[in-house]
């Protein structure tokens, strides 16, 4: 049996005719940038997240970067980010001219450990970026309390958390502002690149909506030195088709994960934490840990199962961040995750017999 790491075929197959119709409708309207589809999507995505504003942008990296810029963060400032996340979180900080300061995650939750944040706060710290990694919300009450005490902004990186909740409130509504990605493989994905910023802050929303469009509100009047980072009409239109299905897709993933969590039983494999009363996880990634990762990866691959690693090289050890001079051993938890984490197949439309097959394979794996 062959099980890919991810497949969007079933998801897109079921809404194919709606997507085709939207494509034709946008093509016929001949308005490809900043039109009705974007306006409609911004309204429904803000409603979905429970925020006053949603602003469509070009991708998730820009969403985070534009938030930081709009808050006035730049040269000489520091922003706290988790040491295990996708590199975009750190790059968003670096692009403003500020420096990312890494804080280790909790090895069980995979999200930033609030207890390790305060020791990294300096005079230069301006914000904390909380990443809802793998679809599980970070411990926001603790993070917001620390930020409040020190007068810092809190930015959510919700690129892996569309629909995830914390104490019943949606990711995107849990801090001063939040960045989303609609990269195709995310739980809510466009058919290309896309992103959004959500916030309840009118002033921030206004600045981000200018910054994404050449710093302009009125055509050819440029109040700020902005970027070109707009969510185009075609992608907004596809997202308008997809958003109403998001909860159903997330519920499906949760059902698959319930089976993984109750049926995978192998002492060599550590499973991630289940959802609890506080964190509703939308399982962007199902991350297991094992001391024999290469062996498990090869075993699954030999048996037709695709896997992935999130992420195989910690950010502080990447060439892009060599200038920070952070050697191996500086962030042992991030390094441990990068050495031991394996992501198992999880997508809408996985068949019961595929799940059976994968669970049986995992339970009979030994080294
Ligand atoms: C995908 C992702 C991003 C970046 O989104 P893009 O749309 O690819 O720019 C940022 N942060 C995290 C945690 C992500 O997973």
User: How many percent of the chain have pLDDT more than 90?
Assistant: 100
Which pLDDT score is estimated for 43?
98
- Whether the CB of 229 sits within 6 Å of ligand 1: no
Which pLDDT score is estimated for 92?
98
- The model's pLDDT over 258-269, given as tens digits with 9 standing for 90+, comes to 999 999 999 999
- Whether the CB of 60 sits within 6 Å of ligand 1: yes
- Whether the CB of 98 sits within 6 Å of ligand 1: no
Ligand 1 closest atom vs CA 88:
10
Distance from the alpha carbon of residue 157 to the mean position of ligand 1, in angstroms: 8
Mutation test residue for ligand 1: of 6, 58, 60, the one with most atoms within 8 Å of CB: 60
Distance from the alpha carbon of residue 86 to the mean position of ligand 1, in angstroms: 7
Which pLDDT score is estimated for 100?
98
- Comparing C-alpha atoms, which of 268, 314, 274, 277 is closest to residue 295? 268
* pLDDT classification of 55: cutoffs 50, 70, 90: very high
> CB of 68 within 8 A of CB of 176?
no
| Whole-model pTM over 0.95 | yes
* Residues paired with residue 68 on neighbouring β-strands, in sequence order: none
- The model's pLDDT over 15-53, given as tens digits with 9 standing for 90+, comes to 999 999 999 999 999 999 999 999 999 999 999 999 999
Ligand 1 closest atom vs CA 132:
13
Nearest-CA residue for atom 10 of ligand 1 = 88
What mean pLDDT is predicted for residues 284-292? Answer: 98
DSSP 345: P
DSSP letter string over 240-287?
HHHGGGHHHHHHHHHHHHHHHHHH---TT-BPPPPP-SSEE---S-EE
Which pLDDT score is estimated for 228?
98
Which pLDDT score is estimated for 223?
96
Distance from the alpha carbon of residue 60 to the mean position of ligand 1, in angstroms: 5
- Whether the CB of 235 sits within 6 Å of ligand 1: no
Distance from the alpha carbon of residue 9 to the mean position of ligand 1, in angstroms: 22
- Whether the CB of 226 sits within 6 Å of ligand 1: no
For residue 116 the two structure tokens come to 């390790």
- Whether the CB of 86 sits within 6 Å of ligand 1: yes
DSSP letter string over 84-142?
SS-HHHHHHHHHTT-EEEEEPBPTTT-SB-GGGTGGG--TTEEEEEEE-GGGPPP-HHH
What residue ranges in the chain does DSSP mark as E strands?
A: 53-57, 78-82, 99-103, 125-131, 153-157, 165-166, 169-170, 177-181, 195-199, 216-218, 221-222, 279-280, 286-289, 341-344
Distance from the alpha carbon of residue 253 to the mean position of ligand 1, in angstroms: 20
* pLDDT classification of 344: cutoffs 50, 70, 90: very high
Distance from the alpha carbon of residue 84 to the mean position of ligand 1, in angstroms: 13
Please enumerate in sequence order all residues whose Cβ is within 8 A of that of 189, keeping only pairs 6 or more positions apart, or say none.
8, 182, 183, 242
DSSP 226: -
């Amino acid at each position: 049996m062959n099980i890919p790491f991810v497949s969007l075929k079933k998801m897109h197959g079921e809404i194919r005719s709606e997507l085709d119709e939207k494509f034709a409708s946008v093509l016929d309207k001949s308005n490809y940038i900043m039109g009705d589809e974007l306006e409609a999507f911004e309204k429904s995505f803000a409603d979905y997240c429970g925020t006053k504003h949603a602003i469509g942008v070009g991708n998730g990296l820009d969403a985070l970067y534009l938030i930081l810029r709009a808050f006035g963060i730049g040269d000489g400032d520091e922003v706290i980010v988790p040491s295990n996340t996708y590199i975009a979180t750190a790059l968003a900080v670096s692009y403003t001219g500020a420096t990312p300061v890494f804080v280790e995650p909790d090895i069980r939750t995979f999200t930033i450990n609030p207890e390790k944040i305060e020791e990294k706060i300096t005079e230069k710290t301006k914000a904390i970026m909380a990443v809802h990694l793998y679809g599980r919300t970070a411990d926001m009450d603790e993070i917001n309390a620390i930020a409040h005490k020190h007068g810092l902004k809190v930015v959510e990186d919700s690129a892996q958390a569309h629909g995830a909740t914390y104490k019943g409130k949606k990711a995107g509504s849990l801090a001063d502002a939040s960045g989303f990605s609609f990269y195709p493989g995310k739980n809510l994905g466009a058919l290309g690149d896309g992103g959004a910023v959500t916030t309840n802050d009118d002033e921030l929303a206004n600045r981000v909506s200018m910054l994404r469009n050449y710093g302009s509100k009125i055509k050819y009047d440029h109040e700020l030195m902005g970027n070109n980072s707009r969510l185009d009409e075609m992608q907004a239109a596809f997202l308008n088709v997809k958003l109403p299905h998001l909860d159903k897709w997330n519920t499906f993933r949760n059902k698959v994960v319930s089976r993984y969590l109750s049926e995978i039983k192998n002492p060599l494999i550590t499973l991630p934490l289940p959802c609890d009363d506080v964190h509703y996880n939308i399982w962007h990634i199902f991350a297991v840990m094992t001391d024999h990762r290469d062996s498990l990866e090869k075993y699954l691959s030999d048996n037709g199962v695709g896997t992935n690693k999130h992420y195989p090289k910690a950010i502080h050890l990447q060439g892009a961040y060599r200038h920070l001079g952070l050697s191996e051993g500086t962030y042992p938890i991030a390094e441990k995750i990068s050495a031991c984490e394996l992501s198992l197949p999880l997508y809408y439309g996985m068949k019961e017999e595929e799940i059976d097959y994968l669970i049986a394979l995992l339970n009979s794996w030994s080294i």
